[in-house]
A and B are shown apart, each in its own frame.
Chain A
Amino acid sequence: MQALAELKEQIRQALPELDVVIGWQQGYDALHTSPLFIRSEEDLEKLVVNEFCVVNPASYLREMRGGKKVGLVLKGCDSRSVIQLVQEDLLKLEDLTIFGFGCNGVLNHAKLQARFGDIGYIKSIENSGASVTIEVDENKETVPFSELCADKCLTCSYPNTLQCTHFAGEESSKEAESEQDKALEEFEKLSMEERFSFWQDQMRRCIRCYACRNACPMCVCKDHCLANSRETKWLSEEVDVQNNFMFQLIHVMHLTGRCVECGECERACPMDIPIMLLRRKMAGVVRDVFAYNAGTNAEETPPLMCFKVEEPTIEERH
């Protein structure tokens, strides 16, 4: 891949000035990558860029505040979380060196699993860009990429890294297949009672491991999340539908107008709970009300962080 070679060269040149560059390396099998923390040229050789680079490197930024010079290899969606953090004054753009490239989408493990029974038994995988050929157990199949990629890739309008310091390879010309998320559209056809019972059923599965929270680049309260606070105690330690749902609703409310829909929360969930439905809904509301798309312009002030007597996008007087 041309972009990878260029990326490596750009990082190699920038590395002496940086404390660390966060990217991806091959994981324990063909379907997994894990985050790579590049501190030396030796580490740099491990860098990979492919359709399994799912972890958002920006999720590690909250640990790196305090003047560290950090480099990040970011997909378009990942770069939005960095911009949003800059907009919220939680990061300084000048402390960051962003290495961008054109993303063609990432594959979704939950979809692979649903299709192939269990991807833990994977034998091989090949991606041609348009389709993916996978061999699990005795079953070998070729499936269109769009059926196995993350939902966010189907509606993505930012395949190229935004506001990057360096850009490697050619720009991606990948376009959104649809404007609205299909799963959300289907969900909204349900009655309120049906929606409530859907979430009750989903929340029964939640194990409150907080992987959704910790994988989220925008969850910056870190160790002081109210889910764990003892004084005041907002949530019971009892793991039941009511408490699980309460946590998830607190989570989504804290992300409203901030969530860049990178999908890390849902990807991280070991119980495959479709919590992106909640995030997309709220992001859609913010788009409708404030004409605002989180994390796309570092100069902009997010709508819920400012007060205007008359919001230009809201018709207040009739």
Chain B
Amino acid sequence: MACKFISNENTNQWLEALAKDHVVFVPVDDGGTVTFRPFGEGRKLVLDRMPVRSAKEAVFPQSETLLTYKYDKDPENPERTSVRIRETLPKERAVVFGARPCGTRGMAVFDKVFDNDRIRDPYYATRREHTMFVTLACTKVESTCFCHEVGSGPADTSCSDVLLTPVQGGYAAEAVTECGEKMLEASFFADGGDKCAEAEAVKKATREMLGEAHDFSDAPEKLLAAFDDDEFWEEQAAGCLSCGACTYLCPTCYCFNITDEATGTTGKRVRSWDTCMSFQYTLEGSGHNPRSTKAKRLKNRVNHKFSYFPESYEKYIACCGCGRCIKSCPASVDIRAIVKAAQARGAEKESK
């Protein structure tokens, strides 16, 4: 990968240039939290903190219109109606700038589900195709970070087009994809020179801060072994408040709901994020709910990421280790600790 350099000043100019024909999402201070908003309007970028919300909305918005519809009454026979439907595929081209590698890695999970040999979700796939990701390698680690334990790392490039690493006076920039290579052809980028070595040292130092990685590789089988152990799950879920903050802030959670939002004879079919923490999740029309308690729902969230998904998709853990679910949980429920408890439970059973 070629390495280039962009100064802090030029970074701003580059963003301005990109904003001419793209929606450029940047992390900004938003009332004390850091979220992604379109660049411009005097918004101050916040690049030294991990954003509270990930950039997943760029490809999978919290609510999006799939189609709009209108019922027309037949003037000859008012009992009869016909319906007109209009497709609403996303059109805009976007750039996400300054997301952390963990925040974009969720797309590796989405890609497998929404765009594969059998299924192509046109809404997701169109946004994915039209969005470029310029990610920012981490230089610090938080108490909730564990990207290195789920096959990722603070300079993971798996879902980036360009990876920036903070160095003296600006950023070392590496193109990851062809599209990223084209981006680095812009005049704002200079030859990397000795900045490349500096960037490598920064990446290495951050990785070292994370320390040794816990091994989650046997988690799928250990979690499956604990599947029917209600006592175990009730204990793990005791502190959970059943809100959906963890799932909404998670870069890899992709469950959705589809509803028709009608106003008189017109309406929209809306896709919106669902959350397995909610009682309504998997609530059947009959009134039966296979996930009737919060313990069963938390089991679903943990197992989906660390057991079911790896089983279906070549051992890929559907957790990016960003720690948002831990950090923003009102009760400090720690997904790492739950999976580790399941692993330890297995070891205890074996020793008996």
- Interface flag for B85 (CB, 8 Å): no
Are A117 and B272 also in contact (CB < 8 A) when A28-B332, A202-B31 are?
Answer: no
Given the known A-B contacts A209-B244, A273-B31, are A215 and B330 also in contact in the complex, defined by CB atoms under 8 Å?
yes
Check: A226 CB closer than 8 A to any chain B CB.
Answer: no
Q: A220 an interface residue at 8 Å Cβ cutoff?
A: no
Given contacts A137-B140, A205-B35, A273-B31, contact A211 B245 (CB under 8 A): yes
Contact between B49 and A272 (Cβ–Cβ < 8 Å)? Answer: no
Q: Interface 1/0s, chain B 248-286, versus A by CB < 8 A?
A: 110000000101010000001010100100111000000
The segment out of B88-96, B186-194, B235-243, B303-311 that lies at the interface is B235-243
Quick one: which of A32, A214, A236, A240 contacts B241, CB cutoff 8 A?
A214
State in angstroms the CA–CA spacing of A273 and B244 once bound together: 16
Q: Is the CB of A228 within 8 A of B142?
A: no
A193-225 contacts to B, CB under 8 A, are: 201-202, 205, 207, 209-211, 213-215, 222-223
Quick check: which of A94-102, A262-270, A294-302 contacts chain B, the rest being far away? A262-270
Chain A residues in 8 Å Cβ range of B327: 120
User: What CA separation (Å) do A153 and B278 show in the bound complex?
Assistant: 32
Do A117 and B49 contact each other (CB < 8 Å), given the known contacts A28-B326, A213-B243?
yes
The 8 A CB mask of A80-115 against B (1 = contact, 0 = none) is: 000000000000000000000000000000100110
Q: Contact between A35 and B239 (Cβ–Cβ < 8 Å)?
A: yes
Are the C-beta atoms of B257 and A237 separated by less than 8 Å? yes
Contact status of A205 and B241, CB under 8 A, knowing A211-B330, A239-B62 = no
**Residue B63 CB within 8 A of the other chain:** yes
Secondary structure dominating the interface of A:
mixed
Q: Which of B52, B62, B142 is in CB contact (< 8 Å) with A270?
A: B52
Q: How many angstroms from the CA of A119 to the CA of B345 in the assembled complex?
A: 32
Contacts of B336 in A (CB 8 A): 28
B49 touches A228 (CB 8 A): no
A268 touches B272 (CB 8 A): no
Contacts of B230 in A (CB 8 A): none
- A117-B49, A207-B248, A268-B243 in contact; A28/B330 too (CB < 8 A)? no
Verify if B33 is at the interface (C-beta below 8 Å from A).
yes
**B330 near A32 (CB under 8 angstroms)?**
no
Say yes or no: is A234 at the interface (Cβ < 8 Å to chain B). Answer: no
**Which residues of A sit under 8 angstroms from B215, Cβ to Cβ?**
none
Cβ B144 vs Cβ A120 within 8 A: yes
User: In the complex, how many angstroms separate the beta carbon of B266 from the nearest chain A beta carbon?
Assistant: 14
Residues of chain B with a CB closer than 8 A to A121's CB: 140-143
The answer to whether A201 touches B140 (Cβ under 8 A) is no
| Interface check A238, CB cutoff 8 A | yes
Q: Does A5 contact B (CB under 8 A)?
A: no
User: How far, in Å, is A253 (CB) from chain B's closest CB?
Assistant: 20
Band of interface residues on A? 35 or more
The answer to whether B244 and A237 have CB atoms under 8 Å apart is: no
**When chains A and B are docked, how far (Å) is the Cα of A256 from the Cα of B26?**
39
| B243/A209 in contact, CB under 8 A | yes
B48 at the interface (CB under 8 A from A): yes
Alpha-carbon distance between A28 and B332 when the two chains are bound, in angstroms: 8
Question: With A and B bound together, what is the CA distance between A29 and B144 in angstroms?
Answer: 9
Q: Which residues of B contact A110 (CB under 8 A)?
A: 32
Cross-chain contact of A236 among B270, B279, B334 (Cβ < 8 A): B270
B248 x A28 contact (CB < 8 A): no
Minimum CB–CB distance from B236 to chain A (whole Å) comes to: 11
Assuming the A-B contacts A34-B239, A202-B31, A272-B33, are A239 and B144 also in contact, with contact meaning beta carbons closer than 8 angstroms in the complex?
no
Whose C-beta in chain A lies nearest to the C-beta of B141? A121
Whether a CB of chain B sits under 8 angstroms from the CB of A170 is no
Q: Is the CB of A272 within 8 A of B244?
A: no
Residues of chain A within 8 A (CB-CB) of B141 are 121
Jot down 16 A-B pairs with beta carbons below 8 A, ordered by A: A28-B143, A28-B334, A28-B336, A28-B337, A29-B144, A120-B142, A201-B31, A207-B245, A211-B243, A215-B243, A215-B331, A223-B280, A236-B261, A237-B261, A239-B62, A273-B31
Known: A121-B141, A137-B140, A272-B32. 6 other contacts (CB 8 A): A55-B330, A120-B50, A120-B143, A211-B241, A211-B243, A238-B272
In order of increasing CB-CB distance, the 8 nearest A-B pairs are A120-B142, A223-B279, A268-B330, A270-B328, A29-B143, A211-B243, A34-B332, A214-B243
